Structure 1
Amino acid sequence: MDARKLLTGGGAAGTAVRWGLLTAAVMALLLYAPTPYAAYEPGLAFYTKPLVRASNPDEPGTGAFMLTTVQLSDANAWKTIRSSWDGNLELVRKRDLFQGGSQADFMEMQTVVMRGSQTDAVEAAYEEAGVAYEIASYALVVSDAGSSSGAFHTGDEIVSFGGLPVTSLRELSLALNREAAAGQTQVSIVRQGRTLELAIRLPAEVIADQPALMVGVRKLTELRRIQPANAEDEVDIQAGEIGGPSAGLMFALQTLDELTDGDLTAGMRVAGTGTINAKGEVGAIGGVSHKVVAADRAGADVFLVPEENEQEAIAKAADIGTAMRVLGIGTLREAKQALEEAGG
């Protein structure tokens, strides 16, 4: 039969073909048409013990620590429509999420921030456990190049500035003071494994406490190496593809559990989220409702959350009807005490 007749003619066959083509067109539109949105959804919960490698680990307990994640993806037309009734699907404008940069820059920024967060987690655990250590910067990285089309890219490691070796913000500030009068300078960087030389212009006025602004980027991050006085206390965190700072609390708890006697989990499956600094202070995070769902799906008994996110987490836990307990904490020490009480 002639194909044109089949499409335009009457009868059941022609009608079926037209409906088939219409359905295919609608499905293609729903699945592949671009939108200005990205979508956040509940991710997975990962056991932290395989990611935290201690030289002399404590005997494993009966419980476990888990970090929680969110899933980030492009929102097609179908996801955009589905978000109107799916409480586990959150849309955000890409321009707001990426802040003028690309998705690749955003993911690179999350990787850099995670590297710094790991060191903070270990340092916080060392402080809580009373472990003696030394710490020093070994690299200075552009963690957010910003939206401008400048010389630097997110993820660039600054090796030297005006001929001076640079591994810290202090060393960069000293180099800036020396080079600012010239109005421009040469910078050596490592970008994706390749060493490059950049020529950059410098503002006439030196702003001593804002070296990132001086070199034309939004944020710089020092990567630091932490070395315990006793080699038996060495801890190395391998986060793999996990990015961002929000696993800091759970990495710190797992590290502390490896360094101290007993079972810090008190035999419970403990999920959680939260940034942490070297002082052990826990900071707020985004996407907490999605992480509550991820923790519940993983069978967690307890969900640790920063105090600032506690009410949102409690509301989501009630919404999904979980028996999992939500505990808001402000420091690593408070997290330790909360687990002791919950397990008692």
Structure 2
Amino acid sequence: MTNSKSLIARILQTFAVVAVLILLLSQVTPDYYLVQPGTPLELSEVIEIDNDSQKFGNLFLTTVNQSRTSGVSFLYGLLNPNAELHEIEEVIPPEMDVEEYREMMQQRMTDSQNIAKTVALENLGHEIEFTGEGIKVLELAEDSPAENILKKDDIITKVNGEPIYLAEELVGYIENHPIGETVELTIERNNQEELKTVETKAHPDNPDNSYLGVFIKTVKWEPILPVDINFETGGIGGPSAGLMFVLEIMNQLTEEDLSQGRVIAGTGAIDLDGSVNAVGGVRHKVRAAEAQGATYFLVPENNYEEAQQGAEDIKVVKVTNIEEVQDFLESL
């Protein structure tokens, strides 16, 4: 009986110590974000088209969950192989506060929706016109090659002489521009038009891509559409669902199911010309897609290797533009 009581006492002491440790850890807020797979969303529940559209329910967008760590979640991130810990500066640029960052990412989500509407409808034979005022400079990164050339609140209207309306469009253009070569930007500053030349540099996180180090947002850009297309994405931000938005819009407006009954997930930012650009968090997204039961995962070519690292049984399909995606779907 004495041994039994002693054992119970030790167990209670252990639980007490663990409870105190958890309580102490919960009061600590390390300067990190916990990044892990999000929940895939069925796109037929996200997109509503005011038309005689049909919904098949086989296409999914994928997300990544990012949350500021507590002591407990920091420990969880250290121990969980499916989670990552990122310093705050790796998630939110030091030049921006949390609210500015969220505003920028929400604007990029709005841009991706409008681009997706345009690309989908143009692929279905519609001619789309636009309204817009350009791209606003929000901040410059500390290492920006545009420092002392561009300023906060400048409005970029052209790149190398060509009109440009979307922040995402400019990001894609710069990323694919040769590193070390100049770009000519037409800007509006204090109601005056000016020409500025900036030499690109290698992106600090993706050395194969060019970089201007400028945080930007679209100003009042919108396509004029022949049909109402509405999105319910909740608090999701950023441009990475663009590719899957295009496919779901096309799927609802065509008679046949583009997925041919397969469960297909994916990620990728979309440009107005239908190009599919690299995004972040792909390893987490492909794991979430596989857990959802998806058979195929569509991914930008530049994210292919990372996606393969996260995949087990799911088939990863690399694409560079919407035409390649359509060719793949037709081959199923």
> Residue 219 of structure 2 aligns with which residue?
222
When the two chains are superposed, the root-mean-square deviation of aligned CA atoms in Å is: 3.4
1:176 to 190, 197, 207: 190
**Matching of residues 108-127 of structure 1 within 5 Å:** 108-127=103-122
2:289 to 276, 288, 295: 295
2:98 to 75, 80, 103: 103
Deviation (angstroms), 1:35: 0.8
Q: Is 1:137–1:223's contact at 8 Å kept on the other side of the alignment?
A: yes
Deviation (angstroms), 1:39: 0.9
CA distance in 2: counterparts of 1:116 and 1:60, whole angstroms: 24
SS at match of 1:34: coil
Deviation (angstroms), 1:58: 3.5
1:132 to 123, 127, 131: 127
CA distance in 2: counterparts of 1:44 and 1:225, whole angstroms: 29
Change (3 A) 1:115 1:291: same
Q: Is 2:54–2:253's contact at 8 Å kept on the other side of the alignment?
A: no
Deviation (angstroms), 1:67: 0.3
2:327 to 315, 333, 337: 337
> Residue 34 of structure 1 aligns with which residue?
29
Please, which moves more after superposition, 330-339 or 102-111? 102-111
CA distance in 2: counterparts of 1:125 and 1:12, whole angstroms: 67
CA distance in 2: counterparts of 1:15 and 1:325, whole angstroms: 51
**Matching of residues 67-86 of structure 1 within 5 Å:** 67-86=61-80
Identity of aligned residues (%): 30
Gaps of 5+ in 1: 1-10, 149-155, 159-167, 180-205, 211-216
Q: Is 1:116–1:222's contact at 8 Å kept on the other side of the alignment?
A: no
Alignment TM-score, normalising by the size of structure 1 = 0.69
Corresponding letter in the other structure for 2:38: G
Whether 1:236 and 2:230 are equivalent positions in the alignment is yes
Q: Is 2:78–2:84's contact at 8 Å kept on the other side of the alignment?
A: no
> Residue 213 of structure 1 aligns with which residue?
none
Corresponding letter in the other structure for 2:315: R
Alignment TM-score, normalising by the size of structure 2 = 0.72
Aligned length: 275
Q: Is 2:187–2:195's contact at 8 Å kept on the other side of the alignment?
A: no
Q: Is 2:242–2:268's contact at 8 Å kept on the other side of the alignment?
A: yes
**Matching of residues 300-319 of structure 1 within 5 Å:** 300-318=294-312
TM-superposition CA deviations, 1:68-94 (whole Å, max 9, x none): 011111223333334344221111100
CA distance in 1: counterparts of 2:221 and 2:53, whole angstroms: 25
CA distance in 2: counterparts of 1:301 and 1:18, whole angstroms: 49
Q: Is 1:83–1:90's contact at 8 Å kept on the other side of the alignment?
A: yes
Comparing both structures, which one devotes a greater share of its residues to helix?
1
Gaps of 5+ in 2: 1-5, 143-152, 156-164, 167-185, 199-213
Deviation (angstroms), 1:174: 4.4
CA distance in 2: counterparts of 1:92 and 1:286, whole angstroms: 13
2:272 to 265, 270, 278: 278
Deviation (angstroms), 1:260: 2.7
TM-superposition CA deviations, 1:28-86 (whole Å, max 9, x none): 2333311121110010011112222223244334x511100111112233333343442
**Matching of residues 143-182 of structure 1 within 5 Å:** 144-145=138-139, 173-174=187-188, 176=190, 178=192
Corresponding letter in the other structure for 2:280: G
CA distance in 2: counterparts of 1:32 and 1:41, whole angstroms: 22
Deviation (angstroms), 1:251: 0.4
Q: Is 2:108–2:217's contact at 8 Å kept on the other side of the alignment?
A: no
SS at match of 2:62: strand
> Which has the larger Rg?
1
CA distance in 2: counterparts of 1:67 and 1:16, whole angstroms: 46
